[in-house]
């Protein structure tokens, strides 16, 4: 097992799952603290990297496109401090971080994990009930209904109608945009109800206007992700290749894979396959050496 403990959090890898536990210090982003512990299956990853910096560095997991509802809701708008898949690494733990990277990369290589986008979520999303927001109101979600409540800063056109209640069955989409500079952000829910022209978030009873006065406003992204994971996956209707569909089939529908660690013949076959891939130029010398060493450890 590979493990790295930092003030920013703790990551462990058991060969099949990366377990992420965020730190609890004041410097840990509120979004990561509210999200809590994560278990990322190897099948959801495309890679891992250690990124050196002037003062230490950072570990970063790279997920398959569409695998995580939070990343899909954020659409690349999470900064490093808010990203649950990044861990700040102190200068004296560089060696441990690099070892962690090698272990995950070897597992990805051995299991031949696809890097293709997915058409179903491979992570469950934030647990419910969940709430977040700021600015002119707060959004909460219990798994069935979104409730938007307004504070004294909300426009009268919103507050005069009281809290907005949106059943999940009425929601067709959700958008989250953090504030940037002088531009407000928002958390907006789209419904199947005819509304005509969509009003600005500050006037929209289906949106919370985010002003960026506190990092806690980022927790609105958790509400967006919790709703998004319960809606049809955006890529599901786009169609997929048969091979991809097979790779994404529910685990219960597939025959159980043999325990490779206990199958001597399977490991020997894997060594031969690696040798053939190396001779064919698919694997570099370094990749072949790392993968071979990982198989020999399991022998």
pLDDT band, residue 276 (cuts 50/70/90): low
pLDDT band, residue 259 (cuts 50/70/90): very low
For residue 131, pLDDT beyond 50: yes
Average pLDDT over residues 164-189: 93
CA–CA separation, 87 vs 14, rounded Å? 18
For residue 227, pLDDT beyond 70: yes
The pLDDT of residue 193 is 67
Q: Which residues of 32-43 are buried (b: 16+ CB within 10 A; e: fewer)?
A: bbbbeebebebb
The set of long-range contacts for 89-95, using a CB threshold of 8 Å and a minimum separation of 24, is: 89/4, 89/6, 89/8, 89/50, 89/56, 89/57, 89/58, 89/59, 90/6, 90/7, 90/56, 91/55, 91/56, 91/57, 93/4, 93/6, 93/56, 94/50, 94/52, 94/56, 94/57
Tens of pLDDT, residues 40-54: 999 999 999 999 988
The pLDDT of residue 268 is 67
Looking at the DSSP bridge assignments, the partners of residue 103 are none
The pLDDT of residue 213 is 78
- On whether the pTM is more than 0.85, the answer is no
- Using alpha carbons, select from 114, 5, 98 the residue that is nearest to residue 20: 5
CA–CA separation, 61 vs 104, rounded Å? 10
Pair type for strands 57-63 and 86-89: antiparallel
Of 10 and 285, which is predicted with more confidence?
Answer: 10
For residue 242, pLDDT beyond 60: no
For residue 16, pLDDT beyond 80: yes
Which range, of 1-5, 24-28, 161-165, 243-247, averages the lowest pLDDT? Answer: 243-247
Tens of pLDDT, residues 261-270: 445 666 666 6
Average pLDDT over residues 242-255: 35
- Tell me what the pLDDT averaged over the chain comes to: 85
Tens of pLDDT, residues 192-220: 766 667 889 999 999 999 998 788 899 99
3-state class (DSSP) for residue 240 = coil
Percent of the chain topping pLDDT 70: 83
């Amino acid at each position: 097992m590979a493990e790295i403990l930092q003030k920013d959090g703790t990551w462990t890898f058991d060969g099949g799952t990366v377990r992420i536990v965020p730190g609890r210090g004041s410097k840990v982003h509120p979004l990561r603290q509210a999200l809590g512990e994560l278990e990322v299956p190897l099948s959801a990853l495309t890679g891992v990297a250690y990124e050196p910096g002037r003062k230490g560095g950072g570990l970063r997991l790279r997920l398959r496109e569409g695998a995580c509802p939070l990343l899909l809701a954020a659409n690349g708008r999470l900064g490093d401090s808010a990203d649950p898949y990044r861990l700040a690494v102190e200068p004296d733990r560089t060696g441990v971080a690099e070892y962690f990277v090698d272990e995950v990369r070897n597992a990805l290589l051995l299991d031949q994990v696809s890097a293709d986008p997915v058409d179903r979520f491979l992570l469950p999303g934030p647990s419910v009930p969940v709430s977040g927001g700021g600015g002119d109101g707060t959004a909460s979600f219990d798994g069935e209904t979104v409730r938007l409540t307004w504070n004294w800063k909300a426009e009268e056109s919103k507050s005069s109608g009281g809290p907005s209640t949106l059943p999940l069955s009425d929601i067709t989409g959700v958008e989250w945009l953090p504030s940037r500079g002088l531009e407000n952000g928002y958390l907006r829910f789209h419904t199947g109800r005819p509304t005509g022209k969509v009003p600005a978030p500050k006037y929209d009873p289906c949106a919370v206007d985010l002003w960026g006065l506190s990092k806690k406003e980022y927790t609105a992204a958790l509400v967006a992700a919790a709703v998004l994971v319960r809606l049809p996956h955006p890529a599901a209707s786009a169609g997929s290749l048969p091979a991809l569909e097979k790779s994404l089939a529910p685990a219960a529908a597939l025959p159980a894979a043999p325990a490779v660690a206990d199958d001597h013949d399977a490991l020997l076959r894997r060594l031969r396959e690696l040798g053939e891939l190396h001779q064919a130029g698919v694997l570099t010398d370094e990749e072949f050496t790392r993968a071979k060493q990982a198989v020999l450890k399991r022998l």
